[in-house]
Amino acid sequence: MLSQLCKIICCRLLPAAFLISVLIVTKSQAQGFALGADVGWLTQMEAKGIKFYDDQLNAQDLFTILQQKGINAIRLRVWVNPSGGWNGVNDVVAKAIRAKQAGMRLLIDFHYSDSWADPGQQPTPAAWTAYGLDSMKQAVATHTINVLQALKANNITPEWVQVGNEVNDGLLWELGRASTHMNNFAQLVLAGYNAVKAVDSGIKVIVHVSNGYNNTLFRYLFDGLKNNGAKWDVIGMSLYPSSFNWNSYCNQCFANMNDMVARYGSEIMAAEIGMSVSDSVACRGFIENMIANTKQVKGGKGIGVFYWEPEAYNNWQGYSLGAFNSKGQPTMAMKGYTDQATNYINNNSFDADSAAVSNPTGWTKTGDITASYAANGNAWNPNGVYYLTNYSASSYKVYTQQTITVPNGVYQLLANTVRDSTHFNQCYAFAANYGGDTIKSNIIPNSNKWTMAIIPQIVVTNNQVTVGIYSDANAGGWLDVDNMTLSPVANTLANKLDINLTANLETNKQVNLQWQNNTGKALSYVVEYSNDGTHFKPLATIKTTKTNLLNWTNTLVETNNRSYYRIKAIDATNTTFYSGVAMVVLGIKSTGLNIYPNPVTGQQCTIQVNNTSTFPVDYSVKDTMGNTKMRGQLWQANTVVYLPKLSSGMYFFKTEDSVKGVLVQ
């Protein structure tokens, strides 16, 4: 017989495997959409000395790392009498306490077995093997209540409880095998349902079925349970596609979700998802797709998405579908959760109308409006069934946009896009009306591959932002757009520290980093460097009591064509903040821009440009939110500029290849 671990891997990789399980959620504790992770292996891994690291290779508690990636819920399995104690009640309570301390929501997964219960086996616990149906129902109820009471004794009430794990053919075989004893299976599910209701009447039972793309399986199982008296409130699904078929599987799963809502009126959860760790880029797209699709389920009935054991790395227990790399860091895949943690765009995947429509819900159009509409992707698009397309047999110009009310803060706009290469004059995603100048992200021409248009930082100061797509095309020009997201940029100092970076490559390749502390209190700083824009390492520590303009200058770290810098700031309570990332592109000749005096105390200053013989030089002055306050031209190396309209604060003087921070007092 295959080992349990081989069965785990096989059941996630083989599309023919039929998996079912039962989950429960407390309605009174519901806190919006659940972005979850199953971490049942955590304590066993830690006992082997395995550690987990953040993006900067700092060792961190796993819950902290997951929170940084947008995870807000944890799933833990429980076994009846496990060998070694792993996943027994004491181990589960210990992990649940840590999850609560981290502010995580909690899902408890009952296997009703002494070890793994899965599609290939549903072994009855050794102490229960002689039980008939009535005794087995009582054992299910007693075990469920005892574990929940142990959690309750530690002031923990899970939002979700899973009754049975991956019961593709029932549970507690042979007594509860669905294919031969559907009535017994239904009664055992009902016993678990009633036990949880006895602990908390607000708990909802979720029947969880794997292979979420298989509508035939779902109808068979839920019809069987319904016809035999079982009860549930929510339907859960699993999906474990490959990097080659996830688009089509996700589309089928989305259609199945909506069918379950229409057929049974149930809420929907993607209770388990996973993909090979070897393709983290595809997995990121898969995660984003599953979250976006589940949020788009009819009637707002999609309630959450859980990734199974993302922290497993280096082939732990033979499992290769985790989302951490060989160094113990989250892979690119986990950005799928970060990007989708909060998405403010209405009908972001253009599926809300469940049809190809000329006016997609939530969106407005101006210009040649007939050139913008929702179309059926026929498995071409990355999310759901429908997508936005811009096309006309005649030339056209059209805006497709929506204005959204959001809390003031920093946001990122993402859009999956694909367009032809020859028919466009302009084509871009944009953000406007947020309190600053319109920001545009040009859409890359590529007629056979979806690419991401990104606006990495939108600083909203007026509680709203307009986002959308603009196309200016000649006859026959086409553009497709799907899965647009507007999400907060987590824990940056964009509205506290104003970052500016200059590099004079003419003089010993010096880099000068300038920033403004607007917190009103003293902070210590760490200057960090990266050669890829993702993994940073410290270069210098700065301790100062200054609370205004700060500078750091050093020889440019030159390991490839681009260098990236950021500031880590630490306050007196050891709270850590990160700035946005500033980039230096090597090989750009600098004019050597200088401003004096700095700080400026009157209504004028002198702008000095060096190392150039070409005048005039265009310049602009922007505030810390990116708003342009002044424009002009410099006609000589030293030019006096009057600043009568600038109020006190930090500003950035910019030429084509240089920028300088100035404090106006």
CATH code (residue 542): 2.60.40.10
Looking at residues 378-394, what average pLDDT do you find?
85
pLDDT above 90 for 85:
yes
133-174 tens-digit pLDDT: 999 999 999 999 999 999 999 999 988 889 888 888 889 999
Q: Is pLDDT larger for residue 608 or for residue 250?
A: 250
> What single-letter DSSP state applies at residue 532?
S
State the Cα–Cα distance between residues 485 and 414, nearest whole angstrom.
Answer: 5
**Quick one: 123 and 65 in the same domain?**
yes
Tell me which of 75-79, 511-515, 616-620 is least confident: 511-515
pLDDT at 30: 37
277-293 tens-digit pLDDT: 998 878 988 898 898 88
Is 355 a domain residue? no
458-492 tens-digit pLDDT: 878 887 899 999 999 999 999 999 989 888 764 33
Name the nearest CA neighbour of 360 among 393, 389, 391, 397. 389
Tell me which of 351-355, 462-466, 529-533 is least confident: 529-533
Q: Is pLDDT larger for residue 18 or for residue 217?
A: 217
| Cα distance between the two ends of the chain | 78
pLDDT above 90 for 208:
no
Q: Give me the CATH number covering residue 49.
A: 3.20.20.80
Q: Is pLDDT larger for residue 560 or for residue 383?
A: 383
pLDDT at 345: 87
Q: Is pLDDT larger for residue 397 or for residue 234?
A: 397
Q: Is pLDDT larger for residue 36 or for residue 456?
A: 36
Name the nearest CA neighbour of 582 among 657, 507, 498, 459. 498
- The H or E element containing residue 448 is strand 446-460
Angle, alpha carbons 172-13-243 (nearest 5°)? 145
Phi then psi dihedrals of residue 579, to 5 deg = -80, 175
Name the nearest CA neighbour of 541 among 576, 568, 522. 568
Looking at residues 615-637, what average pLDDT do you find?
71
Q: Is pLDDT larger for residue 592 or for residue 43?
A: 43
**Quick one: 258 and 185 in the same domain?**
yes
The structure tokens listed for 34 are 């659940």
Q: Is pLDDT larger for residue 242 or for residue 537?
A: 242
pLDDT at 495: 36
Whether 374 and 350 have beta carbons less than 8 Å apart is answered as yes
Q: Count of H helices and E strands in the chain?
A: 10, 34
Total number of domains in the chain: 4
Angle, alpha carbons 519-524-530 (nearest 5°)? 105
pLDDT at 513: 73
Task: With cut-offs at 50, 70 and 90, classify the pLDDT of residue 442.
Answer: confident
pLDDT above 60 for 648:
yes
State the Cα–Cα distance between residues 562 and 573, nearest whole angstrom.
Answer: 34
Write down which residue in 563, 588, 613 finishes a domain: 588
Give SS3 for 582. strand
Q: Are strands 576-578 and 562-570 parallel, antiparallel or unpaired?
A: antiparallel
pLDDT above 90 for 315:
yes
* Neighbour tally for 572: CB within 10 Å: 9
Q: Are strands 396-405 and 439-442 parallel, antiparallel or unpaired?
A: unpaired
**Quick one: 233 and 317 in the same domain?**
yes
Write down which residue in 464, 488, 512 finishes a domain: 488
7-24 tens-digit pLDDT: 333 333 333 333 333 333
CA distances from 163 to 261, 423, 601 (A): 21, 56, 70
Q: Give me the CATH number covering residue 625.
A: 2.60.40.1930
Q: Which domain holds residue 456?
A: 364-488
Q: Give me the CATH number covering residue 458.
A: 2.60.120.260
**Quick one: 263 and 116 in the same domain?**
yes
**Quick one: 288 and 227 in the same domain?**
yes
**Quick one: 410 and 501 in the same domain?**
no
pLDDT at 576: 67
Is 354 a domain residue? no
pLDDT at 547: 56
Region label for 5, one of left (φ > 0), alpha (ψ between -120 and 50) or beta (otherwise):
alpha
> What single-letter DSSP state applies at residue 616?
-
pLDDT at 621: 82
State the Cα–Cα distance between residues 77 and 39, nearest whole angstrom.
Answer: 9
